Structure formats: C-alpha cells, structure tokens
Amino acid sequence: MKKFFEFFKKNRVRKILAAVLGFSLIRLLASFAVYLLAAGHGSFVRSVYTEKIFPVITSPMKFVASLFPFSVGEVLLIAAAVLALSGLVFCFARWIYLGVRKKKGTKGFLRLLAVVLTVGILVGGNFFVYGALNYRSLTFKEVTGIEVTPAKTDELEQLCLYLGRKATKARSVLTENDEGVICDARSDYDILKASTKGFATASKEFPCLKGYLVAPKPAIFSEMMACEQIAGIFPIVYTESIVNVIAPVYDTPFTACHELAHQLGFAQEDEANFIGFIAAIANDDPLYVYSGYYNGFSYAMNKLRSYDQDKWAAVWSDPDIDSEGISRDMRHANSIWDAYKKKAPVISRISEAVNDTYLKANDIKDGTYSYGRMVDLMLAYYRSKLPAAVSGSED
Ligand SMILES: [Zn+2]
C-alpha cells in the first residue's frame, strides 16, 4: 500500500493521475450518498435533478454522439479493451524481463493498477451522476397522472382488438419480403435516425416528453447483444442509446423509442416501453407506426393469453386483424431470438439474470417482468377511448 501511494508522488503525470483518482473517488462516494438519500424524495429529485441537472450534464456527451453515424461508446469500449490488454501484456513482459535480470519489476503493474482503478471509479461515478438517480425520480405515471387500476379481461380483450386492428392497418402500407415478413430498404442508421420525430408530436399530449434527443445508433456488437438477448441499451455511464440491429426492422423502431425514453430521464422499463409505444405510433414514418402497434399488440396478447385462452383465440380470429401477416412477423422475430439463445444458452441466461438483478437493485421489485407492465399503462391510457375505438368510430 505504501508503495502504491509513493508511486503517485514520483512525477507530474502521476500527480495528475492522483488528482483525477481523488476527484473520481470523492465524486463516486458523494453521488452514491445522494442516491441513497434520494430514496422517497421523488418530487425533489424530479424537479432538481431529472428536469434541470440531468439534461445539462448529459447534453455534451449526447452532442458528441450525434456527430458520428456509429456508436461512440462502443468504439471507446473497444479502444479501452485494446489499451488494457496491451498494457497488461507490456507489464507482464517487463516483469519477466526485469525478473530475469533480478531487478524489481512492480512499477509497471502499479501504473496499470492506478489507471484501471481511476477508470473504474470514474465509470462508477458516471453511473450515479448520469442516470441512476432517475430511479429515485417521479415516474411517468406520477408526472402525467395516468392512473393504473386493475382491469377486467374484457377490457384487455378490447385493447387487444384495438391494437391488432391498428397494427393491421399500419402493416398494410409496408412491404413484405419473399417470406411474407415486413422489410425496409433503408439502412439501419437511417431507420433509427427517424426515431426522435414522434416525440415532438407525443409531447403535445405529454409535455414531459420534450427534450434534447439523439437517435440511437446501430450496435457494432449486435451479435453479442443478440446472444445476451438484449434489444437495446442506454448504458448511463456514457449517455448514448444503442439498438441491436439483428432484431427485425419492425422491432428496432419501438426499441429505439424505448431507449429515447431513458434519455428523457424515465428509468422504469415498463414506462420506457409505454413511452416507446406512444412515440412510435405518433411518428409519421409508417414503419414506426407498425412497430409501435405490433409491439403493443404483442405484449397485450401475451397478457390476455395468460388470463383467458378463449378470448385470446377470439382476437386472433377477428376478421379485421391480419392474423397471418402479424403471426409471420412474430414467428420470424422469435426465430431470431431463439437461434441466438440456442447459440449461447449460458450467456443469455447470465445476461437475463444480471438485468433482473440490476433492476431489482434499483427497487424494481419484479425485475425483467416489469417490461410487460406496459400493458397496464396502455389499458389506463385507452380506458376512456376503448369502446369507441373498437367499434371503429375512433381513429
Ligand atoms: Zn430500458
């Protein structure tokens, strides 16, 4: 330990490293303390942090991200991994060399340890400063006043009919490939670039959806994310949204809008799903509209199936729902995720467990199941509109 502290006194570069390490450590401890103290003070966190501090401190990173067509965060990650590995190899080689010559060779390892420690503490601090506090903030429900109450299966069936018909209408203007699955000629980057448009429209109904948004980037590590069963990510430590583009084109728009919800400070997964749904169907891009209704329908139908199989089957046989087309899209999407799950069963299980633990650690009691709670929000949102919507008098 003494050697470690003496190491920092040697020259100017090491003194600067010591200053950065000290600052990072204080920032990490202070932000963690604020995170703990913020529990139960949602209104204060919302008005001071989420609405004022969070948009200001995340804007520079988001602006830098907006300048590049690829994920800056992933490139930085690759660079860090290469540097760390080279540093380790260099230190090891030096240690062997000095060992052969019977000289002390701990300096290289101390240097590497100091850099790794500084980067680790900086990233840990970023996690709290750039977003974890939003888990302590007011939820979308609390900000907008949307009231979630228990629903009857009849209501859920009505919602499924409504979403299925909307998805059918939206799907009818899109192009199918040879297998009858929805496709799009645009590049992944161009599709994702359109993701911010729906927020401007949606913010007329929900002003809290207004804000500086930078469209998510297609993930360089999409294959790895698919193995981990991850559709998109907003890593918080670097506030850039990334979307897995191995997923079908009719899924990525909804995922992109979900990740954008996190950029606005809404941390809860069910709410990010609901905001993603609202922003996707408000987009004037037809692919986004289908993606929103398709995903909303998919979540609602899964829930209906778990409560009432007959009602679920009745919705599928509704003459105004393109059950064949939508099922083809669903089967295609499932086949992609299942193939990667089979390819990397251990990784996908670990990833799901990590995500579940992460959400529970942030006070989301039902972990990854919380994604499906968006159905309760859709029910609450459409409650007053449903009968008219299903009979066709509402558009
Ligand atoms: Zn999310």
Q: What is the per-residue pLDDT across 295-304, written as a single tens digit (0 to 9) for each? A: 999 999 999 9
pLDDT at 395 over 80: no
Sign of the Cα pseudo-torsion (109, 112, 115, 116, in order): negative
Residue 313, pLDDT score? 97
> Ligand 1 centre and the CA of 94: distance in Å?
44
Q: At what angle do helices 12-37 and 107-129 cross, to 10 degrees?
A: 30
- Which position has the higher pLDDT, 346 or 47? 47
CA distances from 61 to 65, 222, 285 (A): 6, 22, 27
**Rounded to an integer, what is the distance from CA 170 to the centroid of its chain?**
25
What's the pLDDT score for residue 238? Answer: 83
pLDDT exceeds 60 at position 369: no
The CA 13 to ligand 1 mean position distance, Å, reads: 39
47 C-alpha vs ligand 1 centroid, how far in Å? 22
Residue recorded with tokens 């919302």:
46
- Cα 185 to ligand 1 centre (Å): 27
Rounded-to-integer distance, Cα 82 and Cα 263, Å:
29
Between CA 24 and CA 7 the distance in angstroms is 18
Ligand 1 centre and the CA of 272: distance in Å? Answer: 6
Q: Are 182 and 30 in contact (CB under 8 A)?
A: no
89 CA from centroid of ligand 1 (Å):
37
- Read off the pLDDT of residues 322-364 as tens digits, 9 standing for 90 and up: 999 999 999 999 999 999 988 877 776 777 777 767 666 766 5
Return the structure tokens found at 23.
């600052």
Distance, C-alpha 324 to centroid of its chain: 30
**Burial zone of 221 (CB within 10 Å; 0-12 exposed, 13-18 middle, 19+ buried):** middle
What is the reported pLDDT for 86? 83
Q: Could you list which residues have their CB under 5 Å from ion ligand 1?
A: 269, 272
**Among 366, 140, 165, 393, which Cα is nearest to 281's?**
165
d(CA 355, CA 357): 5
Cα(262) to ligand 1 centroid in Å equals 7
Confidence at residue 89, expressed as pLDDT on a 0 to 100 scale: 82
Would you state the pLDDT for residue 68? Answer: 92
Q: How far is the CA of 346 from the centre of ligand 1 (A)?
A: 22
pLDDT value, residue 8:
66
Distance 139 CA to ligand 1 centre (A): 14
Q: What is the pLDDT of residue 266?
A: 95
Ligand 1 midpoint to CA 142 (Å): 18
Q: What is the whole-number distance in angstroms between the Cα of residue 79 and the centre of ligand 1?
A: 25
Q: How far is the CA of 320 from the centre of ligand 1 (A)?
A: 32
Q: Specify the DSSP class assigned to residue 53.
A: I
What pLDDT digit, counting tens, does each position of 97-148 carry?
776 666 665 666 777 777 788 888 888 888 888 888 999 999 999 999 998 8
Q: With pLDDT > 90 as the criterion, what percentage of the chain qualifies? A: 55
First to last CA, the chain: 69
Residue 284 Cα, ligand 1 centroid: separation in angstroms?
23
- Nearest to 285, CA basis, from 250, 258, 260: 250
Distance 234 CA to ligand 1 centre (A): 7
Residue 321 pairs in a beta bridge with none
